[in-house]
Structure 1
């Protein structure tokens, strides 16, 4: 074991350098093993019941941290050298082992040159496994014309070299692995072709680089592909985050509980859809302020005896935000503090804005917990590898996690206005473009369903983040979004949260939350819409319906709607300015707002 001390930011241990990721440190190439290799004594447990429940149980643990320069006794994580094969930058000799000189480890060749990790590794196409390219074996395989008896029986393991020569061409053709014993030489151009490793008889080991031989539960039949070790596709992290809030109960569940507690409910269930059901449901609905349809739906579900759980993490968050906004000034304290503005608190704002916005929340303090569930390699369709590979059934899975404290701004949009807007045929036709592309993509099903309200609110969040970066003191990469937009539920959601968070327990400095006051926020929102009304790439951008990765953006580009991918829930996908500001006969959600503000400014 060689001790190499290097500091990583705490957030980097989740992504991009979490379990299974390859890290370049001080000329070394290392890979992070799964959490079964962690020393649990130095990794404190983090509590977040909502997040643990969403990932199916387990334990959240934070990687160790330190506040000063690291020493020999500083708690740290273990990393494995990968790839094990390296070459001398001076003489080109290929080797796998680090030299030991008088008890000290030396990452250098006999000639004195530094050892550099080989730039290619092997990744299987569907199993998410990774391994070294067996360079000696590969160098002595290939076309039958070059594989003589001398090559086939060569055992000159210490005479393998990595050479660069332009005599054989440019690019990969100029990079060769040669054997000094049998004089066999192969170009790396033969390494990267389709099924190149399969033709050379090199198969997947079915394990991760840090797992022992024979650890594979089943034989992996997937084909290997040679890739550069730093390629982004080698590591596709699957993360999940949750706001640690006192989870609110959605209105539909509260109404359902009141209906079940009503004196006439048993008579309604007993009638079981009979001739008096509608009359009884009408009486209950009139007393509780609900609809007869809602009452009948609760009664029909009684026989199923199924609880009504929160569908996902965002449902409880939405209910909690709504309760906070309606409560006004927050005097509760704790790790979830929100001052709400609604109704009379928005009376001085333009009528067009009040028609669209139902409330604003100044999120003065919020705790976010981020966890790494696992990763995939090569493609989003590859097998999922959990962050904990311990196969002992008695072992509770451990997930790397960090807690962040921060501030933010929450916007709640008016449900009636949104419903009327998204019922327009032109709006639905525009959104159906992305709905169809998402359905055709082999991986885009992981993204939220791009219904009209989601696309519009998602785009507004991006526009607001771009404008807040100028006024809040935070860069756009420091701001995060969380979109609440779903109409296919009993409790329809329509809101956005823009927030920033830091690993320090004291949180952030307040530069964002102070802009959540209506007198500051509304001018910023209007300025954001004004910025996006004309893009530097117009008219190409505004008339486009094929932009971004897998053409999952419509009218949105780097000149108007894109932000840092790490700030976006969907990686800068499912955006469209037309559904916000209008265009091509498509009415925009905030089109009338921008027009009214401009007309008012003209009159003045």
Structure 2
């Protein structure tokens, strides 16, 4: 695979619009949706009414979508050639426009010595390919993009004006260099130096206001924010992890229990987004071969009636958390959920208790049912991004609250579609007894542990200036910790690597006693189903659960890990009880909450246990 090619899933996550990507000879910022080559059918329209309705309301509320428009979900463009023979793709702007020569001048020796490299602009490079810089004495040097840029908490991004930062209002055209000394890469050991003698230590660049005010530049959209911006710019290391945090909403597709026509219309609802009347249905049949082939034999009125019914259902679902509808389907107790055929969005079986409990020496009375999910469809959609701080995720699966320490940035100027991908896979759903969890919550040791976790959470949320997310609750910490323990153990049994597994935690206190469950699943883009290894672990669930609890009873970092007190820590560690990389933390791509709200003391007795364990 060439280095300037990305997977579809990467384009809606790590390398979406506004993200900086290193290419072999330069760095670019991924272009906004207006710069995606979507002409001539270079994409697929995805149908997921619940997701469309929810995001359409979000974008209209934030004035990012015209009130008269409807929202589409589309896959990113593929690498297949367009009709003109050119490969499809995403246009990306060169960013940053400052480069550092690879040729190094060593000045002096010993502690007083330093290394110096020339600092040049894009326009100064050799016009042939823009890969090297020609010195006045005839030398030629390859160049690399400078590591440092600047941004603000609204997501705006721009080059550092190095001449202004070094000289202020003084005009100077002398050559500039990046000087480094030592081997620590400490900011204090790196300086930008001008031939006139002026210099700036990178340590100074961290001083608030030192880099100047933001101009509202949005290089991924090739414009400036029409609302302007006057925030102080912050230094940003181009390849650091805090340069880009995608905002992605994920939904598990639910089965349709309607007739054949309703199922066909539901599958094509993305193609029918702009249909507002029966006349529009007739036009869609006439001009869209896909719709004509699937719906041609049905009456226009019947098609429109089914479409309205689907939309009204989506609007009703959009008013509540996506996890509520998902939980109600998985925990319905039906022997079969959905239909067992290749085109089904969801097919699962509620297993008989004897099939998974068996003769076990672990108390499974808190587990109401186990559901083997043979086939599921996950749809994920990118709707924005943040810099410096990730927008905290909501424990109930709702859209992230971005009105915190950072603001979500748009990925287009006025596009009426968002990029999304569908992934297919399998999973296990564990339904927990609501009464058992509530009884445990009311016990003294559990209450005392909850108060410590709340204190740590409040300490952590101070970073958001009092506008942080809500505390997810003790049941969420319990189920989240158990999910991580199970994922690590299942990975040893099912054949999938741990990084291939994902989770959805259902800790929803509203309703008749609440909704409590865990979905552990795997999903792969472009594949109908997976290898079946995850579902095959269902008969061994009791032994897997016992092994998972035994494994987290002792951590290799004990007693330090087990003695951890949340309210005495800083950063994300303040949301943890007894949890670290040696016991409960997993790959962040697998965790729905970025490895927050974990405590193995809630699961089983640890070295410092005081009786709060659920099992």
TM (normalized to structure 1)? 0.76
2:201 matched residue in structure 1: 188
Shift of 1:73: 1.9
Q: 1:453/1:203 Cα in 2 relative to 1: closer, same or farther (>3 Å)?
A: closer
Partner of 1:322: 331
Cα distance in 2 between the residues matched to 1:225 and 1:459? 35
Q: Deviations over 1:206-258 (max 9, x none)?
A: 12123445x3222312111222212222222222111111379xxxxxxxxxx
Shift of 1:362: 0.8
Query: Which residue of 132, 155, 171 maps to 1:108?
Result: 132
Alignment of 1:226-241 (within 5 A): 226-241=235-250
Residue 53 of structure 1 corresponds to which residue in structure 2?
Answer: 53
Partner-residue secondary structure (3-state), 2:9: helix
Residue aligning to 1:355: 365
Residue 259 of structure 1 is matched in structure 2 by none
1-structure distance, mates of 2:206, 2:362: 59
CA–CA distance in 1 between the matches of 2:449 and 2:219?
A: 47
Q: Does 2:543 align with 1:523?
A: yes
Equivalent-residue separation in structure 2 for 1:430 and 1:579 (angstroms): 8
Q: 1:309 to 1:220 in 2, by over 3 A?
A: closer
The answer on 1:540 being equivalent to 2:588 is no
Equivalent residue pairs, number:
501
Mapping 1:497-576, distance limit 5 Å? 497-516=519-538, 518=539, 520-546=540-566, 549-576=572-599
Counterpart in the other structure of 2:611:
586
The CA RMSD over aligned residues, in Å, is: 3.1
Question: Following superposition of structure 1 onto structure 2, how do residues 334-373 of structure 1 map, counting pairs within 5 Å?
Answer: 334-343=344-353, 345=355, 348-350=358-360, 353-373=363-383
Deviations 1:511-550 (A, max 9, x none): 111112x3x2211111111111122222332232236714
Judge which range, 36-45 or 479-488, deviates more.
Answer: 36-45
Counterpart selection for 2:29 from 28, 31, 43: 31
Partner SS state of residue 113, structure 1 = strand
Distance 2:565 2:189 in 1: 42
The answer for the alignment partner of 1:132 in structure 2 is 159
**Change in CA separation of 1:472 and 1:196 when aligned onto 2, cut-off 3 Å:** same
**Secondary structure of 1:76 counterpart:** coil
Deviation at 1:122, TM superposition (A): 1.1
CA displacement at 1:438 relative to structure 2: 2.8
Q: 2:309 maps to what in 1?
A: none
- Give the aligned partner of residue 409 of structure 1: 428
CA shift, 1:358, in A, is: 0.8
Give the CA deviation at 1:10: 2.0
For residues 106-138 of structure 1, give each alpha carbon's deviation from its aligned partner in whole angstroms, at most 9, with x where no partner exists: 3211243112111111112x3221100112222
Gaps in structure 2 of 5+ consecutive residues: 58-70, 104-116, 258-314, 391-403
How far did residue 409 of structure 1 move? 0.9
TM-score (norm 2): 0.74
* Cα distance in structure 2, aligned partners of 1:454 and 1:557: 18
- Aligned to 1:509, what secondary structure does the other structure show? coil
Distance in 2 (alpha carbons) for counterparts of 1:53 and 1:329: 24
Cα separation, partners in 2 of 1:160 and 1:406, compared to 1, 3 Å: same
Offset of residue 456 of structure 1: 1.3
Equivalent residues of 1:462, 1:561 under 8 A apart: yes
Given that 1:337 and 1:365 are in contact with CA atoms closer than 8 Å, whether structure 2 keeps it comes out as yes
Q: Distance in 1 between matches of 2:579 and 2:531?
A: 32
Displacement after TM superposition at 1:331 (Å): 4.7
For residues 469 and 256 of structure 2, the distance between their equivalents in structure 1, rounded to whole angstroms, comes to 24
Is 2:214 the counterpart of 1:204? yes
1:307, CA displacement in angstroms? 7.7
The answer to whether the 8 Å contact 2:126/2:133 transfers is no
CA distance, structure 2, for counterparts of residue 116 and residue 221 of structure 1: 30
Map of 1:474 onto structure 2 = 496
Contact 2:221 2:413 in 1 (8 A): no
Does the 8 A contact of 1:54 with 1:313 survive in 2?
no
Q: How does 1:450-461 map to 2 (within 5 A)?
A: 450-461=472-483
Structure 2 Cα separation of the partners of residues 418 and 93 of structure 1: 62
Q: 1:437 to 1:165 in 2, by over 3 A?
A: closer
2:497 maps to 1:484: no
**2:123 alignment counterpart:** 97
Deviates more, 1:344-353 or 1:408-417: 344-353
Unaligned runs of 5+ in 1: 142-146, 249-305, 591-604
In structure 2, what is the equivalent of residue 601 of structure 1?
none
1:468 counterpart SS class:
helix
| Distance (Å, rounded) in 2 between the aligned partners of 1:243 and 1:98 | 51
Alignment of 1:40-79 (within 5 A): 40-41=38-39, 42-57=42-57, 58-66=71-79, 73-79=86-92
Assess, with a 3 A threshold, how the Cα gap between structure 1 residues 210 and 357 changes in structure 2: closer, same or farther.
Answer: closer
Q: Aligned-pair distance for 1:72?
A: 6.6
Report the CA distance shift for 1:188/1:228 in structure 2 as closer, same or farther (over 3 A). farther
Q: Decide whether aligned partners of structure 1 residues 242 and 329 sit closer, same or farther in structure 2, where only a CA change above 3 A counts.
A: closer
- Whether the 8 Å CA contact 2:100–2:178 is kept in 1: the answer is no
Distance 1:578 1:335, change over 3 A: same
